Each structure stands twice: as structure tokens, then as C-alpha cells.
């Protein structure tokens, strides 16, 4: 089953074309890693998929439904998608527990008792049940990002979008966040993630998609593409990581 499908998607900011005719299908339970230099279109692709940016041309389908149809309820679409950004975006005035349960209670109308029971179970799974009543500013960056991911999956979204979720973290905190993503894959989540963590993409992603100047240059099985890319532009990009 195809969960997400982009068909000829174009997106421009003024005269700057950020996405140029992108075609991409993501299957159920698949983990797709988007790689490419800053400005290549990775984040914009994720933001258009979650209807946080407009699409100038083309279609985006979620579970077969054209979500770029202007008649679609954008908030209802976003309720089906979990999105995590690099900057955590936790509400500072809410406890960890209230952050995690907010969407379930307000958007999905889940009773507080049920929402909190699921949230505590998820927090226990990442070793943060003891922080349920704490506030975000008392947590480390890695803890905050793990809470943000748990918040995104608390409503069992059809699709999880992760946008450079480790880029704002100190190196020693990156591992704990990536371990959580690895466990989500093992549990069957459908994930599209923009990342600069090539080793992680190789080990966890089913497929890697290399973007350059708003277009897909190359895509394929993660280990194959990262070990032996076909396109010269991909090889040039990956050489930077091998030499660093």
C-alpha cells in the first residue's frame, strides 16, 4: 500500500524554485531517507507533504487521497501525520505529559485518562516516564527531541515526517534520538526523514533519495546507493562525508 505519493510536485518561493517536478512514492512500513545539501529541497518536501507549504503544481496523495485538492480540510490531513522538526517545538508552559497528550485530547477527542495511559507507556519505553510532570526547559536537548517524537507518534499517525531531528543536538545526544527512530522502524512505522546522518541512513532506511536543486537525482536501496551511487552528482556529495 502506498502511503504517500508526490506526483510532479513544484513549489517556488517567489522566483526561486525549491521543488522541481518531484515524483516520489512511499510504501507502508517503509523508511525513506532524504539526503542532499542544505537548500536542496529536503525540508520543503516534508513541509509540502504535511501541507505546511503550498504546492504550485502537481499532486500529493496520502493514503490515495489527493490532499492538495483545495477542498481538503488541511487540519484533518495534518491530524493523520506526525511531524518532528529539528527545534523540538515543545510547548514550554505544558508538562511533558500534557505536551504528549495534547493532540490526542484536543484533535482526536481521546479521553484524558486513555491519552495519558498511552503517553505514559510511550514515555516509559524511552526511559522518560519519570519526567512526565517535568517541563521542557528542565530536559536535555536529546530528551526534548525524544519527547517531541513520542508526541508525534502518540496518535498512531499514518505517516511520520522527521526533519533533521538531530541537527540541533550535541553529538553525544544524537545516539539516543536515533535509537528511538530505529525502534520505530522495527515497530513498522512509515517514515520519511531528512538527515545528514549517512551511517544511520545506511543502517535504518530502506531507501535513500538524493535531492539536488529541488529535484531527485537518484534513489535506491540505502546500502547500495550509499556504497555505489550511479550519478556523478551523488558521488560528489557523498565524497564530502567520506573525507570528513
pLDDT digits (tens, 9 = 90+) for 13-68: 999 999 999 999 999 999 999 999 999 999 999 999 999 999 999 999 999 999 99
What H or E segment, with its residue span, contains residue 13? strand 2-13
Report the distance separating Cα 71 and Cα 125, nearest Å: 39
pLDDT beyond 80 at 120: yes
Which residue reads 520543503 in cell numbers? Answer: 44
Burial-class residue 190 by CB neighbours within 10 Å (0-12, 13-18, 19+).
Answer: buried
Report the distance separating Cα 63 and Cα 134, nearest Å: 37
pLDDT beyond 90 at 243: no
Residue 240 pLDDT class (50, 70, 90 cuts)? confident
Residue 174 pLDDT class (50, 70, 90 cuts)? confident
Report the distance separating Cα 33 and Cα 78, nearest Å: 21
Report the distance separating Cα 99 and Cα 133, nearest Å: 10
Note the pTM of the prediction, 2 decimals. 0.94
What percent of the chain is helix, strand and coil (3-state, nearest 5)?
Answer: 40, 25, 35
For all residues of the chain together, what is the average pLDDT? Answer: 94
pLDDT digits (tens, 9 = 90+) for 57-76: 999 999 999 999 999 999 99
We report the CATH number of the domain holding residue 198 as: 3.40.50.300
Residue 244 pLDDT class (50, 70, 90 cuts)? low
Q: Which of 125, 218, 219 is nearest to 180 (CA)?
A: 125
Count the neighbouring beta carbons within 10 Å of the beta carbon of residue 117.
13
Mean pLDDT, residues 114-119 taken together: 96
Write out the residue range of the structural domain in which residue 43 sits. Answer: 2-243
More confident of the two residues 238 and 244: 238
How many domains does the structure of the chain reveal?
1
pLDDT digits (tens, 9 = 90+) for 158-171: 999 999 988 878 88
Amino acid at each position: 500500500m502506498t502511503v504517500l505519493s508526490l506526483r510532479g510536485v513544484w513549489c517556488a518561493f517567489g522566483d526561486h524554485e525549491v521543488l522541481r517536478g518531484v515524483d516520489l512514492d512511499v510504501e507502508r512500513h517503509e523508511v525513506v531517507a532524504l539526503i542532499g545539501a542544505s537548500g536542496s529541497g529536503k525540508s520543503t518536501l516534508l513541509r509540502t507533504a504535511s501541507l505546511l507549504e503550498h504546492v504550485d503544481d502537481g499532486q500529493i496523495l496520502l493514503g490515495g487521497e489527493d490532499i492538495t485538492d483545495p477542498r481538503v480540510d488541511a487540519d484533518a490531513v495534518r491530524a493523520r501525520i506526525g511531524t518532528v522538526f529539528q527545534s523540538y517545538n515543545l510547548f514550554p508552559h505544558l508538562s511533558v505529559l500534557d505536551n504528549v497528550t495534547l493532540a490526542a485530547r484536543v484533535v482526536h477527542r481521546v479521553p484524558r485518562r486513555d491519552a495519558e495511559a498511552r503517553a505514559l507507556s510511550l514515555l516509559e519505553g524511552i526511559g522518560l516516564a519519570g519526567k512526565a510532570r517535568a517541563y521542557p526547559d528542565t530536559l536535555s536537548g536529546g530528551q526534548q527531541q525524544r519527547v517531541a517524537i513520542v508526541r508525534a507518534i502518540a496518535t498512531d499517525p499514518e505517516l511520520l515526517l522527521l526533519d533533521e531531528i538531530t541537527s540541533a543536538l550535541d553529538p553525544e545526544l544524537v545516539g539516543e534520538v536515533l535509537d528511538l527512530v530505529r525502534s520505530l522502524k522495527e515497530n513498522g512505522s512509515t517514515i520519511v526523514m531528512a538527515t545528514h546522518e549517512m551511517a544511520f541512513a545506511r543502517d535504518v532506511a530502506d531507501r535513500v533519495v538524493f535531492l539536488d536543486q529541488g529535484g531527485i537525482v537518484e534513489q535506491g536501496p540505502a546500502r547500495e546507493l550509499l556504497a555505489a551511487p550511479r550519478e556523478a552528482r551523488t558521488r560528489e556529495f557523498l565524497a564530502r562525508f567520506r573525507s570528513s
